[in-house]
């Protein structure tokens, strides 16, 4: 997930780099809805939730964060319908997107426990609303952060780690970099190593995809949406029609 004011396009090149070395991983890059942001004089921009200011962000109410959480959960549910176990999924992001990753990944239902959470220059948003799901204490978390960050101070990263460990998180790795509010090749490589560790490739980890004829109608619709075939599905009603559409486009 991208940061405030950015879009999915901002991390497309980075995701492509990771995909080149980890082709078994599917990367999904959503764009936040455009909404007024208090910190920026209520100007509308892509934002996962409202931000009031730069100081002590963990105390903010973060209006809109629950709507964004629901949206990300829906994306994860749709991937699960396609046959991917939640244990083979991870969430991650930069800045506000990193904050969303913590808010989503550590509050999943225990039966939907993820493989891990990746945070770059992020923090714990909406701490008053945040409740760690029992059973997710050992979910792996990687947090990379610049020691010279003027937007999300490094002290906020340290406080985030402390608050989450006090809440029960036991597997929180934080690494610092001598940078401001950005990422560098070293951090991108570190995140790649983290992803490769929690989402390893290999035959034993490859997923057996269902044939369209074996899918339920709900799974068929999810596969059609994921494949960008929604327009071609308009007017279709019967399961056999959905199956044919997918088979014709495999």
Q: Out of 95, 101, 121, 127, pick the active-site residue.
A: 95
Angle between helices 96-105 and 65-81 (to 10 degrees): 60
Q: Are 172 and 164 in contact (CB under 8 A)?
A: yes
Which residue(s) pair with 118 in the sheet? 92, 142
Query: Does the active-site annotation cover 34?
Result: no
What's CA 158's distance to the chain center, in Å? Answer: 21
Q: Provide the b/e sequence for 74-90 (b: ≥16 CB within 10 Å).
A: eebebbbbbeeebebbb
Q: Out of 2, 121, 149, 190, pick the active-site residue.
A: 149
Kindly report each contact of residues 180-187 with a partner whose C-beta sits within 8 Å and lies 24 or more positions away, as own/partner: 180/146, 180/148, 180/149, 180/150, 180/151, 181/95, 181/121, 181/146, 181/149, 181/150, 181/151, 181/152, 182/121, 182/146, 183/14, 183/94, 183/120, 183/121, 183/144, 187/120, 187/144
Q: Out of 24, 50, 176, 181, pick the active-site residue.
A: 181
Query: Does the active-site annotation cover 149?
Result: yes
Query: Does the active-site annotation cover 181?
Result: yes
**Positions marked catalytic:** 95, 149, 181
């Amino acid at each position: 997930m991208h940061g405030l004011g950015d879009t999915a396009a901002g991390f497309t090149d980075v995701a492509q780099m990771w995909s080149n070395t980890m082709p078994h991983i599917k990367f999904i890059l959503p764009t936040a809805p455009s909404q007024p942001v208090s910190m920026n004089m209520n100007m509308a921009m892509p934002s996962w939730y409202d931000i009031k200011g730069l100081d002590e962000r963990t105390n903010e109410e973060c209006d809109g964060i629950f709507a964004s959480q629901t949206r990300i959960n829906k994306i994860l549910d749709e991937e699960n319908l396609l046959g991917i176990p939640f244990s083979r999924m991870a969430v991650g992001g930069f800045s506000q997107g990193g904050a969303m990753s913590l808010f989503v990944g550590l509050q999943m239902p225990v039966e939907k426990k993820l493989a891990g959470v990746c945070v770059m220059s992020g923090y714990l948003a909406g701490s008053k609303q945040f409740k760690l799901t029992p059973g997710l204490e050992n979910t792996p978390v990687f947090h990379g952060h610049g020691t010279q960050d003027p937007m999300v101070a490094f002290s906020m990263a340290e406080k985030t780690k402390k608050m989450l460990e006090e809440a029960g998180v036991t597997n929180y790795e934080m690494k610092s970099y001598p940078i401001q509010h950005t990422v560098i090749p070293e951090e991108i490589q570190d995140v790649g190593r983290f992803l490769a560790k929690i989402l390893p490739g290999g035959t034993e980890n490859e997923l057996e995809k269902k044939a369209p004829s074996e899918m339920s109608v709900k799974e068929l619709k999810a596969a059609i949406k994921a494949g960008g075939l929604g327009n071609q599905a308009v007017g279709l009603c019967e399961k056999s029609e959905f199956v044919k559409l997918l088979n014709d486009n495999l």
